[in-house]
Structure formats: structure tokens, C-alpha cells
Structure 1
């Protein structure tokens, strides 16, 4: 056999050997835009790491939470990498369900924004790496505000937002005064509604862990929300969450929208949004207090303790949450498309600053959110739009269903909160927080 033929054969056999030995990493993630983009960049990772193959399990947010929670609690071992939230990270790391993230000098953990890094750490170790992070803010149509003769300040009140909604609402023209989450879920409608309760002066639990859902701030905030949406929201708002409202806004159907800061990169992208050149940004609206008016959240990649492919999983996570990955997305799609909210270097980058007109408002919102001090009365829990206790998922889901029913007109706000208070009291008593 000629030498060149032998060389080609050996190369083929070596490649086949690598393919046979390739570890398959099963990654559970959410069906948000930035995660979909990460999947599209799979060939880039696999080319640099020929011994690793990526298999994606992409799920709607609520389903993802159920699947990964069940799997990690039962040590099922279905996933090697999980996409988890800021809520799960400290609870699961404390329980020993996650492996610490193996960072190196090149990863530069000090580049992570302090609020996010702290939220993902336990006893000084990072247990999940942030893929993107967010707060919440007001996104609005500057052209419609100008037409209505309304100036939106840097941090408006909910009353000012309502006044703009009343003037901009024009269903015949296909424009609704306000788009807000209505779909039930502790991470869906309750993310928004908890910030509203906070800024009205409310809290989930008092210092004795007694639920406060029938308190005056909760009643006033929820009544305001339901009335605002019934008068100026789109039809079927009780079924809308982030993705549905994003689609409405991009079609030019929302005069304003209070939601995750991560939406800013989508609605200001001319390839996705029909109103990209007409949007402006402000801080999340306030009422009685600015405390807890805007939430803090991150989607993060973590390695469950049950994974037998730790080294490969860590390698993937370092790649997907690195400064180099952000540069890769910028090179592929432009700086407006990069996952934001995680690294100081992103906001310091002149190219990003030039393209992302939302950057300053987004970073200000993230920096302002304080999970350790998010309510006017002192609270026993950590978290802005949630209480970081295991029982909160069940409570938040139950309350979210009640509030969605009130928005849909199947219940009054008062009845919804009364039922919510009962179920919250039952859960807290069952868990031993109260007698």
C-alpha cells in the first residue's frame, strides 16, 4: 500500500476511533432565543472538542423546571448539564445536588457582575455559571409617547405608566396600551406580580413566615394590575408570558411592556422587530417604594452531582459562558445579539455600547436589584421576585393560577388572594415554618 494511502487510512481510522469514543453530553435547556442560538453554535464547540458530542433537550420554561427538579432530586442522571435559575442554584448547591464550577484563569470569574456571581455561589464557590442574566424594565414606543404628549422619566410610577396606556390604547389600529405577563407560574406571571406587590410595600412572608397575600399592598397592587390589563391589555392576556408578549411587541402591537431586560436586544433588532427604531427604555415602574420594583434573574448552566461526565460538562459550561463565547456570537450575528447581564467586559466594550442603546438601562436595573433587601417591611427570605425556599415553587404556582383566573374574569382579586392565602398558609404549616 502506498505511503499516502496508509496515511489517509490511519487518519480515517483515528477519526472513526474518536467518533466511537466521543462522550455524549445531554443538555437540558429552555426554549428562549439565546439558548436556541447556543444550540446553533454546537458545531463550533464540537470542532474544538472532537471527543464531545452535544445532545439538546429543549423545553418550555415550566416543563424544564419540572423535568430538571425531578431528575436532580431523584438522582435520575438524565442530564449532564442543566439550565437552572437563580432561584434553584443556592438551594440545590446547599443540598449537595450540584458540582462546583471548575473555573480557570482564562475564564476570569472576577469579570462576572457581582450581584449574579454572589447569587450563584455557596460558601465561596461558584455552583452555576451564568449564561445570561436580567432584571426587569419598562420598554416602550417613544413615537407613541411623543404622539400622546407624554414624557417617560428614567423611573416612572405605575400611575404614569397607566396614563400613557390610556392615551396609547387603540385596538382598532392594533395597538394595546400595555402588555404584561398573565400566564400562570411562579416564574411567569408571579415574577412580575411579586415586583408589583414589592413596590406597593408588600412582601410574601413576614418575619414569622406568615403569608401576607391578603395585606393591603397585595390587594392594591393586584387590583391595579387586573384593572390596567382589562382596560388596556391585549385579548387573551391571561395566557401570555415572555415569548407571547415579545411577539406582540415586535409586531408593533404593544405601546409599552414591563418585562425582562433581555427582551431589549430582541425588540431593538431590525431583523426581528418592526418597531426597532422606535423603542426606548426606562427603569421598572414604582409605587410606594422603589424597593423590589425590578427583579433579578439569571439562566445558568450547572452540572448535577449525578453526572458521570464532569470533565466534559465543565468544559462545555466554561465555553458557553465565557468572554470568548460572547465574542463568537458578536462575530456571527453582531453585538446586539449577544447574551447580556453576566460580564463587566460586555458593558465596557465600545462596540456593544455603540449597538446596544439599552445597555445603560439594563446594567442599572441589574445593579439596583438586591435580593437581600427587596421589601419595605423586613422579610425573612432572600429573593426579589421569589422567596428562595423550596416550598415557594408550589406556592408560587398556586397563587399564579389564582391571579391568572382573576385576570381572565373567572374570579375577583379579593377571592383570588383569599384562596392564595389559604394555600400558602397550608404549605408553610406543612413544611414546619408556622404552627
Structure 2
């Protein structure tokens, strides 16, 4: 009798322990960037956890340069720190081909065909989608229409860099803390080099010629970087060499920037009265051009991918499907308003009348994204794809090194010619070591 009771009690304990173990939540570790839309996703992720009580989300939120370093190191070493990684159009096809990230398949309800073609293609390789876009972007000119009008100037829909410089000169008012133009200066292949590469493109330059030889000392690069350094030196805020997206966003929202050429995604923040003091004074134009319109505006998407090292790929896929779906966009619209939804990913968003009404930047943003062509982004023929980057594994190291030189030139630590000469040397060394050409 006692033995029977004891056996029953022990059995019950075993069953209870087993049940508890079976229903323990899976920790899903997500590496992401500290941009506004990602912060919003974290806030709304309680909806996902409520619907999926067996999954608990753990966030690693990093500045974009640090994020790129962390996820690149982890993916290359198969470290397995993350189940979901925030990556972009540079990494997705390269890592997909290497087998470092899993290809993604979704059901019909997800509607992959609704993703804008330029964005979808940029995250794919060999017909397989390797990352799902959380938001997409090109670049464009965002400007204070009140300052431009007060200066007696105009801003065409397709301005030139020369015209931008003229406007910057007129609207700069340093005594009152207003700078004619704010541009990225913080070093990084996806930071200052994203902007500088588009400038080099439109000035007629390219990263590599058809023999894969770096072209960083060519006249278009000298003209573009010289113009960039001079423009920010005269009309930019102090400390520009340290400014990235978030630093300039803060300056713009405080009313300190007259113009800003950067990611189209910024438009949703600078037109938001809750965070911008100049929300009703902002207007938009396409990215400035010089010699050619080719490659003047970049193409990018922050997207979610699953590393091969993840032990929770099914749960990761479920989260990615939720956070990049039409339903998620509708959730943001319901909770925060249509002016705060992540943009640049789905045709259905731009077709929505409520979004069009709320997002004064929608038309300019869509035109910029549709016009960016990674397959034809330079005036001379180039052997690589990509607008603000060259889609080869070696570019990341080259872009980081060149970005440091450009930031030094902007800070006045070296001349533009010296910075480009050092950049050329380091780029040639990397390309030779990788076997692209021989000296």
C-alpha cells in the first residue's frame, strides 16, 4: 500500500517535471540595429509572445557599425550566438551562396510577390530569398522648405549637387545654430561610404574598373570627395566626422539642419510631430546628381535572416514571418498610426490610401527606391553589382578602411588627395591578395 502510494507520487512528480520541461519557452536571440523602427518592433513584440507563449524573445540591440561587426564575426565563426540576425542587401546574397544563412520559404498568405522587386531581388541569390525585409530604403534629399523659401531659393524635384551647395550657402546661419547641410561622416562601409559612394557614382566614378582595379585616385573620386569635404567644412555642423544616421536625425529634429541627404526611412521620423520640432516644415526631393544620375541614390534593406548555426530555426522563421508581414504593418498602423509603419518593402503599403494620406514622403520615397539600379549604377561599365557597395566578400574590409581615410580627411587630419592615395593602396592590396588582379 505504502509502496503503491510512493510509486504514484514519484510517477506524478516525474510527469509534472516532464510536462514542465516540455512547455519551457524557447529563448530566441535576435540581433538588431538601434533604429527607430526596430525599437518599435521590440515594443510590439509582446503581441508575438502572447500568440506564441512557447517562444521568449531576447534582444541584442546595437549601433549599426557594431551590429555589422558582431553578426559578421558570429556567422563566419559559426558562433551560434543569434537565432535571428538583422542584415542587409550586401550580406544576404553573399552569405546565402556560402550556406551561412538559411533560405526562407513562406506560405501564400505572406505574399512574397507583394515585396517590392528591387528589395526582393537584392535579398535573394539563385532564385532563393535569404532574408525578409523589415524595412527598405533608398536615399533622398530632405530639406527645410521654410528656410529655402526665406532665402529666396527653390528646390527642384531632381536637384544637382551644385544647386544644393548654393542653397546650403544661403540658408546656413551658424549664429543661430542652423547648418545648411548635414551628411554622414562616421567611418564605415555602410556609413559614410554609403553616401560618398553615391556621390562618386554621380560624379562619374566607380569602385573598380572591368579588370577589378580600384579607381579611388581617379578624377571623379577626387572631385566627389573634395566637394563633400568642402561642403561640410563650410556649411555642416561641427564634429561631422563622427556623425551617423541617429546623430544627424537628432540634429534635424532639433531644427539644426537645413538639408540632409540620407536614407528615405528618415522621412517618417522627421515628419513626426512627436519627435521633430520641424515636422511641418519638411519637403523632399530626389538625391542630388552631378555628371550622371546613375548611382546617385542608394538601395538598401534592413532584413531578418536565420544563421545556419541557429538551433531554433523553426521558431526563428515564425518570428520573421510575423515581423515582416502585412499584418505587422497593419498592427503598427493600428497602435501608432500609418505615419510610423516600416516602409520600403511592400507594394500594398504604398497602395493604401491611409498611408498615402499620412506619409507626405511616400511618393518621393517610392520613386527613389524604384529608380535605384544595382546592375547599372556607374557611368563607366563596372564588374560588380550594388549601388553604394560592391557585392563581393572583400568589399567590407575595403569599405571600412576607405571610410576611415575619408573621415580623417573630413576632420582635417589629412588632405583629400592623401586620403584617396592611402585608400587606393589598401584597396589594391586587398584585391591582389584575393586574386582579382596582379600588380
User: Normalized against structure 1, the TM-score is what?
Assistant: 0.96
CA distance in 1, matches of 2:337, 2:356: 12
Residue in structure 1 matched with residue 345 of structure 2 by the alignment: 342
Residue in structure 2 matched with residue 257 of structure 1 by the alignment: 260
Residue 19 of structure 1, CA deviation: 8.6
Larger radius of gyration: 2
Confirm or deny: 8 A CA contact 1:19 1:51 kept in the other structure. no
CA distance in 2, matches of 1:79, 1:258: 33
Residue in structure 1 matched with residue 417 of structure 2 by the alignment: 414
CA distance in 2, matches of 1:102, 1:361: 31
Residue in structure 1 matched with residue 119 of structure 2 by the alignment: 116
Residue 154 of structure 1, CA deviation: 0.6
Residue in structure 1 matched with residue 43 of structure 2 by the alignment: 40
Confirm or deny: 8 A CA contact 1:18 1:50 kept in the other structure. no
Residue in structure 2 matched with residue 144 of structure 1 by the alignment: 147
1:77 lines up with 2:80 in the alignment:
yes
1:9-408 alignment, distance < 5 Å: 17=20, 20-408=23-411
Query: Structure 2: where are the runs of 5+ without partners?
Result: 1-15
Confirm or deny: 8 A CA contact 2:88 2:123 kept in the other structure. no
Residue 308 of structure 1, CA deviation: 1.4
Confirm or deny: 8 A CA contact 1:18 1:51 kept in the other structure. no
Residue 310 of structure 1, CA deviation: 1.1
Residue 366 of structure 1, CA deviation: 0.3
CA distance in 2, matches of 1:43, 1:26: 15
Runs of 4+ in 1 over 6 A off after TM superposition: none
Give CA deviations for 1:182-241 in whole Å, capped at 9, x if unaligned: 111101100000000000000000000000000000000110000000000001011001
CA distance in 2, matches of 1:76, 1:267: 38
CA distance in 2, matches of 1:19, 1:135: 45
Give CA deviations for 1:341-365 in whole Å, capped at 9, x if unaligned: 0000000000000000000000000
Query: Structure 1: where are the runs of 5+ without partners?
Result: 1-12
CA distance in 1, matches of 2:138, 2:21: 43
CA distance in 1, matches of 2:359, 2:34: 23
SS at structure 2 position matched to 1:140: strand
Residue 269 of structure 1, CA deviation: 0.3
SS at structure 1 position matched to 2:289: coil
**How many matched pairs?**
422
Residue 387 of structure 1, CA deviation: 0.4
CA RMSD between the two structures: 1.1
SS at structure 2 position matched to 1:249: helix
Confirm or deny: 8 A CA contact 2:431 2:437 kept in the other structure. yes
